[in-house]
């Protein structure tokens, strides 16, 4: 399933696309899962104010794509179903990974020379720097070919000939098993606040074509609005992927019913499976002024290959020759035998000496002569 949302877009307008992938059925971590969702929703809130003021050259598309743990299949489905004219109008695709950090990395296939893409990234970097967040670009080529597995979501867009990159707190590529955890139930909230503010301000400046760093186009979340927004959605995302209670449909009142992996079949077969989570996302985006479309797709698991196989670590230690080990073993055996024989020898000698003394000691009665016995006085 993926959700396609547009903000005041018009046919023919150039477009910036913001993408966040997720796994709605399971909890794959708050930092790795919820931080991108929260950022995307807050960006929609802030950019709504910019579009109300004046018409802009660019439109913005927000994409929430499911099946991120299956080689970002939701992203691939969205690309395949989107009108090619809209894809051709896209100037940059920014995919959001875990952004709850004061040091972010932009993973991209190369340093693009496109002037609008370069201006967009430079504006983001400047705005993030003002918030105390460092942005480092890490270009790395990707393998070509349709059947090559994708390790970052932007790789699907790159193969579709679009300029794209993934913003992540991870400085290098890691398997999904290393980037997520069922016990990841918290995030670095101060860092996320700074990252969200910087991304919102940078995107707004780019859309408004403003280079004025003294005038702020977006709010700083004064009055703890951003802090409350983050806290409520963190709690909701921490519990909703496992819930089936259709009555609790707001971030302020999440259900606490835990659904383990063994209940997946029953959970997926229910009539309201995942609807609470999706409905909450759709309501939040619609309240921000977005026209929302939701599409479902099936994933054929026959012959499906996962790019996130668990890493296997093999430790190899170089050891010396076993000659000295055998020598020590033989010495220990010889020493043990010698001790054993010494003890047995001492015990045998003692026994022999005792037997000889007993046999040589004469009896007082038998050693006296008959004459001596007759001489004994009788009473």
Nearest to 30 by CA among 43, 18, 42, 39: 39
Percent of the chain whose pLDDT exceeds 90? 18
Pairing of strands 134-139, 164-168: unpaired
For residues 246-250, give the mean pLDDT: 41
Alpha helices, DSSP H only, in 54-161? Answer: 73-81, 84-88, 115-130, 154-159
- What per-residue confidence (pLDDT) applies to 125? 95
Whole-angstrom Cα distance, residue 105 to residue 301? 32
Q: Helix H segments across 217-322?
A: 225-239, 264-269, 275-287
pLDDT at 231 > cutoff 50: yes
Task: List the strands of the sheet with 2-7, edge to edge.
Answer: 134-139, 103-108, 164-168, 90-96, 14-21, 58-65, 2-7, 291-295
Q: What is the band of 66 on the pLDDT scale with cuts at 50, 70, 90?
A: confident
- Which range (46-55, 130-139, 261-270, 323-332) has the least confidence? 261-270
Taking the model in full, what pTM does it have? 0.68
Domain ranges of the chain: 2-295
Rounded distance, CA 313 to CA 296, Å?
A: 38
Strands 103-108 and 164-168: antiparallel
Give the three-state DSSP class for 92.
Answer: strand
> In angstroms, what CA-CA distances link 70 with 36, 95, 104, 367?
18, 16, 24, 108
d(CA 111, CA 123): 15
The helix/strand/coil state of 228 is: helix
Sign of CA dihedral 344, 350, 352, 354: negative
Any idea which fold 2-295 has? Answer: Aminopeptidase (3.40.630)
Q: Which of 184, 158, 154 is nearest to 168 (CA)?
A: 154
Lowest average pLDDT, out of 3-17, 25-39, 55-69, goes to 3-17
Instruction: Give strand ranges (E) for the chain.
Output: 2-7, 14-21, 58-65, 90-96, 103-108, 134-139, 164-168, 291-295
In the chain, count of helices (H) and strands (E)?
12, 8
pLDDT band for 103, please (50, 70, 90 cuts). very high
Mean of the pLDDT values across residues 314-342? 82
Q: What average pLDDT does range 22-43 have in this prediction? A: 70
């Amino acid at each position: 399933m993926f959700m396609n949302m547009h903000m005041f877009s018009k046919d023919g307008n150039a477009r910036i696309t913001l993408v966040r992938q997720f796994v709605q059925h399971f909890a794959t971590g708050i930092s790795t899962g919820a931080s991108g969702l929260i950022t995307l929703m807050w960006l929609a809130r802030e950019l709504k104010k910019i579009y109300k003021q004046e018409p802009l050259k660019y439109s913005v598309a927000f994409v929430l794509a499911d099946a991120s743990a299956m080689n970002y299949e939701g992203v691939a489905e969205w690309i395949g179903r989107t009108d090619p004219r809209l894809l051709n109008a896209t100037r940059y695709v920014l995919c959001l990974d875990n952004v709850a950090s004061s040091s972010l990395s932009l993973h991209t296939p190369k340093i693009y020379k496109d002037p609008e893409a370069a201006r967009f990234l430079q504006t983001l970097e400047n705005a993030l720097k003002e918030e105390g967040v460092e942005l480092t670009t890490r270009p790395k080529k990707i393998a070509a070919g349709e059947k090559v597995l994708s390790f970052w979501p932007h790789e699907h867009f790159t193969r579709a000939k679009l300029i794209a990159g993934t913003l992540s707190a991870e400085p290098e590529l890691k398997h999904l098993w290393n980037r997520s955890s069922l016990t990841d139930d918290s995030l670095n909230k101060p860092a996320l606040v700074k990252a969200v503010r910087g991304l919102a301000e940078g995107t707004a400046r780019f859309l408004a074509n403003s280079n004025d760093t003294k005038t702020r186009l977006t709010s700083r979340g004064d009055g703890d609005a951003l802090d409350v927004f983050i806290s409520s959605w963190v709690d909701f995302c921490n519990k909703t992927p496992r819930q089936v209670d259709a009555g609790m449909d707001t971030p302020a009142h999440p259900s606490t019913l835990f659904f383990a992996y063994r209940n997946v079949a029953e959970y997926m077969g229910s009539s309201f499976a995942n609807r609470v989570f999706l409905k909450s996302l759709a309501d939040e985006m619609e309240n921000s002024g977005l026209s929302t479309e939701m599409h479902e797709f099936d994933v054929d698991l026959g012959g499906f290959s996962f790019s996130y196989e668990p890493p296997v670590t093999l430790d190899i230690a170089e050891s010396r020759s076993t000659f000295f080990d055998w020598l020590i073993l033989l010495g220990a055996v010889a020493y043990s035998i010698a001790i054993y024989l010494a003890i047995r020898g001492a015990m045998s000698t003692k026994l022999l000496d005792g037997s000889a003394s007993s046999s040589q000691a004469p009896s007082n009665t038998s050693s006296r002569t008959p004459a001596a016995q007759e001489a004994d006085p009788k009473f």
